[in-house]
Amino acid sequence: MKQKETLLNIRLNGDKIELSDLLIDEMGDNHVSTSVDTPMRMDAFELSDAEKVKKIEKHFTAIMEALGLDLTDDSLKGTPHRVAKMYVKEIFSGLNPANMPKMAMFENKYKYNEMLVEKNISFYSNCEHHFVPIFGKAHVAYISNGSVVGLSKLNRLVQYFAKRPQVQERLTMQIGKELQKVLGTDDVAVLIDAKHLCVASRGVEDDTSSTITGYYGGKFKEEKTRSEFLRYLEMKTEF
């Protein structure tokens, strides 16, 4: 028997459109992304952080009440505020361009013109389809064209783009493109290996798989350079 679709009516720019539950689920389960840039409204930053926390707290209270939870319980009554503060100040803080790390550049006075690799950068993000965690390791490399950036800034850049609702393909490209812009070179590579709890804890419930995505620019499109980068990632460098 054909599965029955439930139609949802929504409005986009004043026009009514219909999306089915099945289509919505399919987009999420198939990891669909709509653009390289994180979709944001024009008025995204008209509210202050404090106003956003207050608004989210109100709505999360409604969610918990709809689930039947007793918010008078000592353990639960502070949860809406904690969640709202966490969303704005922590796990989604990368939505605000004001939180972009300062990427101070330095002249490459020692003339190091080989590949630099920062591997095993830990990050935590959230799937934009189900708002559950994505976590894993990012590996970043570049070849200087005359300027270098502090190593910790590579970690901070990864974490900045991770701290927003994400799709792994978009996260990989955002890191790579921003590094190219900051460093003034196309010779940038990014590889991400991550676990998605939208796969592990719901849906197919596969706890063993991980997702790998890569971004290669400039010299890293050449087999020799890309292979060198991948060999570095295989080296055992844990101390």
- Long-range Cβ pairs for the range 109-116 (8 Å, 24+): 112/144, 112/148, 113/143, 113/144, 114/143, 115/141, 115/142, 115/143, 115/225, 115/228, 115/229, 115/232, 116/141, 116/142, 116/143, 116/144, 116/148
Instruction: List the catalytic residue out of 130, 166, 174, 178.
Output: 130
Question: Is 196 an annotated catalytic residue?
Answer: yes
- Give the whole-angstrom CA distance, residue 148 versus residue 109: 9
Instruction: List the catalytic residue out of 159, 166, 168, 174.
Output: 168
Instruction: List the catalytic residue out of 57, 159, 166, 198.
Output: 198
Question: Is 166 an annotated catalytic residue?
Answer: no
Taking only Cα atoms into account, the Rg of the chain, rounded to an integer number of angstroms, comes to 21
Question: Is 198 an annotated catalytic residue?
Answer: yes
Instruction: List the catalytic residue out of 5, 18, 114, 127.
Output: 127
Question: Is 31 an annotated catalytic residue?
Answer: no
Angle at 74 between CA 71 and CA 79, to 5 degrees: 55
Instruction: List the catalytic residue out of 57, 129, 139, 166.
Output: 129
Question: Is 205 an annotated catalytic residue?
Answer: no
Instruction: List the catalytic residue out of 57, 128, 139, 159.
Output: 128
Question: Is 127 an annotated catalytic residue?
Answer: yes
Strand partners, 133: 126
Question: Is 223 an annotated catalytic residue?
Answer: no
- H or E element, residue 60: helix 49-66
- H or E element, residue 192: strand 188-196
Instruction: List the catalytic residue out of 159, 166, 178, 196.
Output: 196
For the chain, how are helix, strand and coil distributed in percent, rounded to 5? 40, 25, 35
Active site residues: 127-130, 168, 196, 198
